[in-house]
């Protein structure tokens, strides 16, 4: 029995002391916390970094942290809060489109009436309408106004011209009457060139407007001859389109 007890005592004395594991585990925990904090502190400001260092000092030295706000859970400073709060962007002032002038309103209304007249009377093939920088431009092919090579108005054109005169009287804008021809040389003794023919045709329309009591001070004319064609004079259709008289209700300066 005594021998058995001695053997047990010897085996007990040879048992490995594991008390070193406790501080070892504490060191590993602190190292893990250190790396986590170092990673987190790479994105914090100076104030937060100092708070973290104060927390480590307290852990390693055992001193008490007097400031309850120091440590890993730092209350954001007012500066940081302001930096993180998105600034209110001033709303851009809405630009209000200027109201159209009286002249613009009147020309737009005239444009609508002219468009309706052209459409209602199936005149799109011989009369075109444009709202340009210069004003409202009414373009009449020569076939509706004149016989070939002549500048006297056909009686069949009066109905259309009467409507145009009536509509132009709804405004007081200046009116420019402009004659154009194709590039075929004139072959009669009445006109020396296409300049004279285009000018004579423009004057004929001008006199008709004057006859219908359109104020003379509003009227002007010009003959461009063949030098402002709409299309190359390479086909019959193109030449016919180039032979025209434009009545332009000009915008006021």
pLDDT, tens digit, 9 for 90 and up, residues 112-122: 999 999 999 99
| Cα–Cα distance list, 244 to 94, 126, 149, 225, 228 (Å) | 46, 9, 12, 10, 11
Query: Are residues 101 and 253 in contact, defined by beta-carbon separation less than 8 angstroms?
Result: no
Stretch 203-214: mean pLDDT: 98
pLDDT, tens digit, 9 for 90 and up, residues 51-63: 767 766 666 566 6
Percent of the chain with pLDDT over 70: 72
Going by DSSP bridges, is the β-strand pair 244-250/175-180 parallel, antiparallel, or unpaired? Answer: antiparallel
Stretch 6-19: mean pLDDT: 57
Can you give the pLDDT at residue 25?
74
Mark 208-233 as b/e (b = at least 16 C-beta within 10 Å). Answer: bbeeeebeeebbebebbbbeebeeeb
Can you give the pLDDT at residue 251?
95
Alpha carbon distance 7, 3 (integer Å): 6
Task: Give the burial class of 177: count Cβ atoms within 10 A of its Cβ; 0-12 exposed, 13-18 middle, 19 or more buried.
Answer: buried
- Confidence band of 72 (pLDDT split at 50, 70, 90): very low
pLDDT, tens digit, 9 for 90 and up, residues 216-244: 999 999 999 999 999 999 999 999 999 99
Alpha carbon distance 53, 34 (integer Å): 10
Q: What are the boundaries of each domain within the chain?
A: 20-77, 102-250
Helix ranges restricted to H, the chain: 2-13, 21-41, 46-61, 78-84, 102-120, 158-168, 194-211, 236-242
> What is the full DSSP assignment across 29-80?
HHHHHHHHHHHHHTTS-HHHHHHHHHHHHHHHH----S-TT-SSSPPPPHHH
Backbone angles phi and psi of 248, in degrees to 5? -110, 115
**Size of the chain in residues:** 253
Please give the helix or strand (H or E) that residue 231 lies within, else none. Answer: none
CATH number, domain 102-250? 3.30.1330.60
Report residue 231 as tokens.
């299309």
Stretch 86-110: mean pLDDT: 79
Can you give the pLDDT at residue 26?
73
Q: Give the sign of the dihedral formed by CA 126, CA 127, CA 133, CA 134.
A: positive
Report residue 150 as tokens.
């002549």
């Amino acid at each position: 029995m005594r021998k058995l007890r001695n053997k047990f005592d010897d085996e007990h004395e040879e048992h490995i002391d594991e008390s070193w594991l406790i501080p070892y585990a504490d060191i590993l925990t602190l190292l893990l916390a250190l790396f986590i904090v170092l990673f987190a502190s790479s994105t914090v400001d100076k104030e937060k970094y100092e708070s973290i260092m104060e927390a480590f000092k307290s852990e390693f030295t055992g001193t008490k942290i007097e400031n309850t706000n120091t440590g890993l859970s730092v209350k954001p400073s007012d500066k940081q809060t302001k930096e993180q709060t998105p600034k209110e962007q001033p709303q851009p002032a809405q630009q209000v489109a200027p109201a159209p002038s009286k002249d613009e309103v009147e020309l737009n209304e005239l444009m609508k009436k002219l468009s309706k007249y052209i459409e209602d009377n199936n005149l799109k093939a011989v009369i075109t309408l444009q709202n340009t920088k210069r004003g409202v431009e009414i373009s009449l092919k020569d076939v509706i106004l004149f016989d070939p090579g002549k500048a006297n108005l056909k009686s069949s054109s009066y109905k259309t011209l009467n409507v145009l005169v009536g509509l132009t009287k709804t405004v007081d804008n200046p009116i420019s009457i402009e004659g154009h021809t194709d590039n075929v040389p004139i072959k009669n003794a009445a006109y020396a060139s296409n300049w004279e023919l285009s000018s004579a045709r423009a004057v004929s329309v001008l006199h008709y407007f004057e006859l219908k009591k359109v104020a003379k001070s509003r009227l002007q004319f010009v003959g461009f001859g063949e030098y402002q064609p709409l299309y190359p004079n390479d086909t019959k259709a193109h030449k016919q389109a180039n032979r025209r008289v434009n009545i332009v209700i000009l915008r006021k300066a």
